């Protein structure tokens, strides 16, 4: 329930801010929503603008949604090891020191998020700390640090924003064509929603394809930072994880382990067998 309320509140806040932005910019640029150029501009503001506002708030949202506790002053040897390991890997990767956090969950997982390479968060689950050896956990941390170093959060946000723009735009263009001569606002709205869902599925295939590609890159980066055998061992350990990822939204894409899907086309992560095989061929 907490996650649902946070999701709704965040999106309402984003819509409110973007609505104000549009009310200011549209008259200044001489655009109106009745023209295709005005419609495209509106869709770009909501599509790209919404994605980047979400990215800017990603650390705050992540901490609250999973109840992550940021380690300010390590209270035990395990927390000291976590912070020191991330710090060493961040230095090797050439990024700013991320915040390091722990969240309570039985799943074996970890994630990274943040607006840029020098303002990130790396969080691990208590399930991971209980189930993995330090060598395996080191590889998982290296995987997440590699996501940050590769700029995956920003790139995925840009791709998602551009695709959202065209989903919104073409859904309305097609709806206008289908409903030509029909003045029912309700029919138009339902048609827009239907085509937005259809185009959204197609867009998600593209986003998930890129997500799987950058998982391979993060595995490779993790192998460079922690060692190939440690990275392979960590992925092998993940195969024993029987609990599906509890992460939502973009956190799912940047976790070490993703959600299951009926088709690989809709998976944010490649199958573990493929990830392990790719590392073995390096």
Place of tokens 């290296």: 142
Distance, in Å, from the CA atom of 193 to the CA atom of 170, rounded to the nearest integer, reads 11
Catalytic residue among 91, 144, 215, 273: 144
At 268, list the tokens: 């944010």
> What are the two backbone dihedrals, phi and then psi, of residue 70, each rounded to the nearest 5 degrees?
-75, 135
Place of tokens 């995956």: 152
If we measure between CA atoms, which residue out of 69, 50, 44, 221 comes closest to residue 144?
Answer: 221
3-state SS string over 1-37?
A: CHHHHHHHHHHHHHHHHHHHHHHHHHHHHCCCCCCHH
Distance, in Å, from the CA atom of 34 to the CA atom of 17, rounded to the nearest integer, reads 22
Look up 144 and say whether it is catalytic. Answer: yes
If we measure between CA atoms, which residue out of 153, 188, 195, 189 comes closest to residue 171?
Answer: 195
At 49, list the tokens: 């603008």
3-state SS string over 188-223?
A: HHHHHHHHHHHHHHHHHHHHHHHHHHHHHHHHHHHH
Is the CB of residue 86 less than 8 Å from the CB of residue 97?
yes
Distance, in Å, from the CA atom of 84 to the CA atom of 82, rounded to the nearest integer, reads 6
Residue 82 has, within 13 A of its CA and on its CB side, a CA count of: 26
Place of tokens 């199958």: 271
Any idea which residues carry the catalytic annotation? 144
């Amino acid at each position: 329930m907490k996650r649902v309320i946070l999701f709704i509140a965040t999106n309402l806040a984003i819509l409110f801010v973007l609505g104000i932005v549009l009310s200011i910019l549209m008259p200044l640029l001489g655009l109106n929503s009745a023209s295709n150029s005005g419609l495209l501009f509106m869709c770009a503001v909501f599509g790209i603008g919404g994605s980047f506002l979400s990215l800017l708030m990603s650390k705050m949202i992540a901490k609250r949604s999973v109840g992550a506790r940021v380690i300010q002053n390590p209270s035990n040897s395990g927390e000291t090891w976590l912070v020191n390991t991330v710090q060493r890997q961040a230095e090797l990767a050439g990024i700013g020191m991320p915040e390091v956090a722990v969240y309570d969950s039985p799943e074996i997982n970890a994630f990274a998020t943040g607006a840029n390479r020098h303002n990130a968060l790396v969080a691990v689950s208590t399930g991971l700390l209980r189930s993995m050896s330090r060598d395996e956990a080191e590889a998982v941390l290296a995987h997440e640090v590699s996501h940050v170093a590769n700029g995956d959060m920003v790139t995925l946000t840009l791709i998602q924003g551009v695709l959202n723009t065209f989903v919104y735009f073409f859904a309305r263009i097609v709806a206008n064509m289908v409903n030509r001569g029909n003045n029912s606002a309700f029919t138009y709205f339902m048609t827009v929603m239907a085509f937005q869902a259809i185009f959204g599925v197609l867009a998600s295939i593209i986003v998930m394809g890129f997500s799987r590609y950058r998982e391979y890159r993060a595995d490779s980066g993790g192998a460079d930072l922690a060692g190939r055998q440690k990275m392979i061992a960590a992925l092998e350990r993940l195969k024993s994880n029987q609990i599906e990822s509890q992460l939502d939204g973009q956190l799912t894409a940047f976790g070490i382990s993703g959600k299951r899907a009926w088709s690989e086309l809709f998976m944010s992560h490649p199958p573990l067998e493929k990830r392990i095989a790719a590392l073995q061929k390096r």
